[in-house]
Amino acid sequence: MGGNVQVSGGTCWRPLDEDDYKTNCRAIIDNKSGHVGIWIIIRNSCGEVMAYCSQTLEANLSTRIANVMAIQRSLQFGLKCGLTSTNIESDEATVIKWINLGLHRDTDYGMILSDIDVLKADIRGMSFSHIPPLASKAALSLAKNVMSIAEDRFWMDEYLDSIRRIIQAEKPG
């Protein structure tokens, strides 16, 4: 299984199996304005970005529930794009544990986590991984950036040069 890994001095891309996709997702909260920014990045086995999405929600949410929603929306976005990921990465360790162990039925987030269970049920080999917060600098930078954008956006295949620089910095070579 591939993905971002932290190594001495930074982050490095570890390739996926051929024909697999990996999704990084991240949520950032602006408590002053009551907004949540969500970023989703889907990459292929070569580390190339196939699609990404930014969403802004007007809501007062905890960090944990915002990241639960980012994972849920990652699954939905991948299915809509036809890019079903086999691995979803998040820096929210508790949520990843709940998803992997099914320990969420009695939580405040139980309905959203149950929806994640339904969405992932048809995806063979699906895994959810915890990564350190700095392991996906692209998702973090883009999540911070989305707070200045007042609309939801998504891109497939092509993306802005500023985003390309962030993403290319994580790829080997």
Per-residue model confidence (pLDDT) at position 2: 53
CA distance 171 to 4: 9
pLDDT tens column, 147-162: 666 566 666 666 666 6
Question: What string of pLDDT tens digits covers the 173 residues of the chain?
Answer: 455 554 455 555 566 777 788 998 988 888 888 888 888 888 888 888 888 888 888 888 888 999 999 999 999 999 998 888 789 999 899 889 989 988 766 777 888 998 998 999 888 888 999 988 766 666 666 666 666 665 666 666 666 666 667 666 666 55
Q: How far apart are CA 52 and CA 74, in angstroms?
A: 10
Per-residue model confidence (pLDDT) at position 60: 84
Q: Do residues 22 and 43 lie in contact, with contact meaning Cβ atoms separated by under 8 Å?
A: yes
- Measured between alpha carbons, how far is residue 155 from residues 55, 113, 121, 159, 173 in Å? 12, 26, 26, 6, 25
Q: Please give the Cα distance from 41 to 23 (Å, whole number).
A: 5
Question: What CATH number did the domain enclosing 136 receive?
Answer: 3.30.420.10
Average pLDDT, the chain: 78
Q: Containing H/E element for 145?
A: helix 137-146
Give residue 172's pLDDT: 56
- Amino acid 71: pLDDT: 95
Give the range of the structural domain holding residue 53, as residue numbers without chain letter. 3-170
Whole-number pLDDT of residue 133: 73
* Length of the chain in terms of residues written: 173
Domain count across the chain: 1
pTM: 0.79
